[in-house]
Amino acid sequence: MSIHWLLFVLVLVLAAQAYLYRKRALARVGYERYFSAESCFEGDEVQLIERISNRKLLPVPWLRLEALMHIGLRFERQHNLSINSGEFYQSHQSFFSLLPYTQIVRRHQIRCIRRGCYDLSSATMTSGDLIGMSPVVKRLSLNCRLLVYPRPVALEAIPLPSHSWLGDLIVKRWIVDDPFLVAGVREYRYGDSLNRINWKATARSGGLQVRQHDFTADHRLMICLNIDNDEKQWDAVTDPELIEQGIAYAAEIGRYTLGQGVPTGFGCNGLLTDGGQEPVRIAAQSGNMQLTALYETMALLLLERSVTFDDFLALEAEQSGQATDYLLITAYVDAKMQRQIDKLRELGHAVELLMLRREEEASHEGA
């Protein structure tokens, strides 16, 4: 057989396999991707699991999967994984070769270095013939989400006001007498009501004795975070690390108070991922489900303003009902905010401030 026939047959074979792979390379090739957990805390490690299968007789000589992921999730370097990082997103590529009717499962270690909501909603699959003459591209729609909760902090590390009720046992913080809880008796003092006199104890002691009531715990706590780090700020947060610190404080205080059985809520003048343009507000409730709701809300929180914080407090004053303890986490207090704080207090609510400070400012004040 002459060289011309050999070349002709070779070209024919290459063209045939190129045509075959162009039609069938990605047929019955399945792909799914998911995280080993639906949620975690900032600083934790999770696994990103890729599962790809070839459910046909034709082998797949090469397959490349490409996807974008936010830099808040950091890949550990691994074999068969190429990563290119940009300012906000990183591109990662996985390479596969699949025999007929086979499945490959690959696990990637991911470190969650930033709080947030991470959706991996799409990927691009590319394959082709044996020599790469006719690549075929397919875009995949995926449903893969990871919620990263705020980083854990110790309650003792939070700079609560020295006079704060959070400095005492949580059940003792409200100075409101409950007529149904009697803790004992004490001597009569000027101003005590006559209906509180305990006549049996008075007869025994020879002096007027009144019933001592315990404190009630019927108030509720609303933790409100100001997303603005400066009163001259426009819409964009200029000091995200300071606000992230405030979110971490809010998460830990919420965890603590809910653990003590105190109905706790959360509000913020920021925005939620896919949550429209309304301010964030989770009404005060108790229980483990409430803690999960707070964590998830904080994971979904974007550092973008919905309304100014004084407008947010005005909305709180309008919709607040029973007496509530407000803990405001903010980097500053201006005149407009102070007027709304005074209004909340006039309505019978207790208001305390947790001021956010940059590390250098806190060090200077401590010195």
pLDDT tens, position by position, 29-83: 999 999 999 999 999 999 999 999 999 999 999 999 998 888 899 887 665 566 6
Global pTM reads: 0.79
- pLDDT reading at 195 higher than 70: no
Sorted by where each starts, the structural domains of the chain and their CATH numbers stand as 24-149 (2.60.40.1530), 155-173+217-366 (3.40.50), 182-214 (no CATH)
For 102-111, 184-193, 243-252, which range has the lowest pLDDT when averaged over its residues?
A: 184-193
Could you tell me the two tokens for 16?
């045939």
What percentage of the chain reaches a pLDDT higher than 90? Answer: 51
- The strand order across the sheet containing 81-85 reads 81-85, 89-98, 60-70, 122-127, 136-141
Predicted pLDDT of residue 207: 79
Predicted pLDDT of residue 295: 98
Could you tell me the two tokens for 227?
């997303």
Predicted pLDDT of residue 216: 46
Predicted pLDDT of residue 132: 75
3-state secondary structure 169-206: CHHHCCCCEEEEEEEEEEECCCCCCHHHECHHHHHHHC
* pLDDT: which is higher, 12 or 190: 12
CB count in 10 Å sphere of residue 7: 10
Predicted pLDDT of residue 297: 97
For 40-54, 157-171, 261-275, which range has the lowest pLDDT when averaged over its residues?
A: 157-171
Predicted pLDDT of residue 165: 55
Supply the Cα-derived Rg of the chain in whole angstroms: 31
Mean pLDDT of 175-198: 57
User: 196-208 b/e with 16+ CB inside 10 Å = b?
Assistant: bebeebbeeeeee
Mean pLDDT of 337-354: 92
- pLDDT reading at 323 higher than 90: no
- pLDDT reading at 276 higher than 90: no
Q: Phi/psi of residue 245, each to 5°? A: -60, -40
* pLDDT: which is higher, 325 or 320: 325
DSSP 8-state code for residue 91: E
276, 240, 225, 282: CA torsion to nearest 10: 40
Predicted pLDDT of residue 184: 61
Cα–Cα distance between 173 and 329 in angstroms, integer?
19
- pLDDT reading at 177 higher than 70: no
Question: Which residues neighbour 209 within 8 Å (Cβ) at sequence distance 6 or greater?
Answer: 185, 186, 187, 188, 197, 198, 201, 202
Q: Are 93 and 123 in contact (CB under 8 A)?
A: no
Q: What is the mean pLDDT of the chain?
A: 83
DSSP 322-342: S-EEEEEEES---HHHHHHHH
For 154-158, 169-173, 257-261, which range has the lowest pLDDT when averaged over its residues?
A: 169-173
Of 287, 356, 312, 294, residue with least CA distance to 39: 294
Cα separations in angstroms, 56 against 24, 312, 355 = 9, 59, 63
